[in-house]
Amino acid sequence: MAKSNDRIERDTLGKVKVASGAYFGAQTQRAVENFKVSGFHLQPVFIWAQAIIKQAAAKANLDSGKLDMIIGEAIINASSEITAGKFKDQFVVDVFQAGAGTSQNMNINEVIANRANETLGAKIGEYKPVHPNDHVNMGQSTNDTIHGAIHIAAYVEISKHLLPSVKKLADSLRDKAREFDDVLKVGRTHLQDAVPIRLGQEFGAYEAMIRADHERIELASKELLKLAIGGSAVGTGLNAGPEYREKVIEHIRQATGFKFSTAGNMFEAMQSFDAVVSIAGALRVLVVNLSKIADDFRLLSSGPRAGLAEISLPAVQPGSSIMPGKVNPVMAEMLNMVCYQAMGCDTVIAHAARAGQLELNVMMPVIAYNLLMEIEILYGGIESFTDRCVSGIMANIENCRKYAERSPALATALNPHIGYNKAAEIAKEALDKNLTIRELVVSKNLFNESQLEKILDIREMTGE
């Protein structure tokens, strides 16, 4: 028996109890009851992208005369409210839901229909005069709209948030590379002492990695501009109408300000997630580089007394509940965790993308969730890492120089003068006697003072 605060709706399977104040309806309610899995919902930016599509579809159908003016305007207005952030609590379907996102599509169709009817003075839940399928979903399918919403949401997040954060990190690393250009230090290969390098050169390498990531992501993201909107269920455009595809894309472009276009081959677009896999690949390279940089920062700042301590990271919070005064590299640790989670998202995307069968990939909801999560945590993590860590790094110049002078790999500079084998003997003896290469060579009178200064000029060894 229905509670006093419930209403009874009917769908093609029968009666369903829905909370009286809910803007969603029977199909959404069934999904809520069926998919009690995680409590995770698709992100607000995805809902925004869905609403953009519904608004654009209504405008396209109005343009072609297929949709009544009053109904069409009510749908457009309701969609606009959703893009403005209203009714967030009405999108209640779990991420792990019906394949392709049919429940997700009906969730927004029902919310828009009920809100449109409410603005027209009609009752919520009766779907007159505005019907979620006949009017809000006109010319559409779950298959093309969910696919399109993934592309739109991801492209907007990348353009507005991720790329600017990546550029900001690259700029901060560039500033540090310039600041540290004269700081001489030991290079390390295999985590063992190697020939000298400048700290600025290390940071310049980090900058170059991140600049390349920015370029790679920007290029790959352009594939997301191709939309399957208008393909309807399988790519044929059934029920969409001959002019619909062109008009709906134009309205999406106007609403977003980005140059979205129709996919070249609608059947390929409906079946594959190549664009998403491509951008995920570009993000994977960024994640690998970010993790490497975070690891390096933790190594280079290790100590402060019993580690490398070549750089000092900003102290942003106490590091221990038991050891007074301990400060940890928390921002680098945070970024590592972000990277590990991002790689998990990447794995889900790859497996879900390959699960497409025949005319459709039904794993779209989990692809959407993980792609948007990866983008979101990456730009959030990068912003925090840049502001709270990179910008405040200091060089420990004396430590850097000390390690450079004590590296047995300085014997490499002797190779052209005494040969590899003799230089190797010098390096071994220096280690055995706990002397620097310079000290040992002086004691052996192998070169006069001016020759030795030239041969063991550490700054000269680091090149330009």
CATH code at 430?
A: 1.10.40.30
Say whether both 249 and 381 belong to one domain: yes
Closest Cα to residue 389, out of 306, 303, 293? 293
Tell me whether residue 159 is one of the annotated catalytic residues. Answer: no
Per-residue pLDDT tens over the stretch 57-85: 999 999 999 999 999 999 999 999 999 99
**What's the sign of the alpha-carbon dihedral 306, 311, 314, 316?**
negative
CB of 332 within 8 A of CB of 297? Answer: yes
Mean pLDDT taken over the chain: 96
The angle, 0 to 180 degrees and rounded to 10, between the axes of the packed helices 437-444 and 420-432 is 110
**For 385-389, what is the mean pLDDT?**
98
> Taking 50 as the threshold, does the pLDDT of residue 99 lie above it?
yes
> Taking 80 as the threshold, does the pLDDT of residue 462 lie above it?
yes
pLDDT at position 241 is 85
Annotated catalytic residue: which of 301, 320, 391, 407? 320
**For 120-126, what is the mean pLDDT?**
96
**For 162-170, what is the mean pLDDT?**
98
> Taking 70 as the threshold, does the pLDDT of residue 249 lie above it?
yes
**Run of H or E residues at 432:** helix 420-432
Say whether both 193 and 307 belong to one domain: yes
Q: Which of 107, 138, 169 corresponds to the end of one domain? A: 138
Say whether both 73 and 159 belong to one domain: no
Say whether both 210 and 290 belong to one domain: yes
- Model confidence band, residue 242 (pLDDT cutoffs 50, 70, 90): confident
Rounded to two decimals, the pTM is 0.96
In total, how many domains does the chain have?
Answer: 3
**Would you list the DSSP string of 298-360?**
HHHT--SSSS--SEE----S---SSSTT----HHHHHHHHHHHHHHHHHHHHHHHHTT-BTTB
**For 350-354, what is the mean pLDDT?**
97
- Which phi and psi (to 5°) does residue 395 adopt? -90, 135
What CATH number corresponds to the domain at position 131?
Answer: 1.10.275.10
pLDDT at position 1 is 39
Say whether both 306 and 435 belong to one domain: no
pLDDT at position 461 is 97
**Run of H or E residues at 193:** strand 192-198
Per-residue pLDDT tens over the stretch 30-46: 999 999 999 999 999 99
Answer yes or no: is 144 within a domain: no
- Model confidence band, residue 5 (pLDDT cutoffs 50, 70, 90): confident
Range of the domain at 418: 407-461
> Taking 90 as the threshold, does the pLDDT of residue 367 lie above it?
yes
**For 320-331, what is the mean pLDDT?**
95
C-alpha span between 299 and 306 (Å, rounded): 12
**For 206-230, what is the mean pLDDT?**
98
Q: Which of 86, 118, 138 corresponds to the end of one domain? A: 138
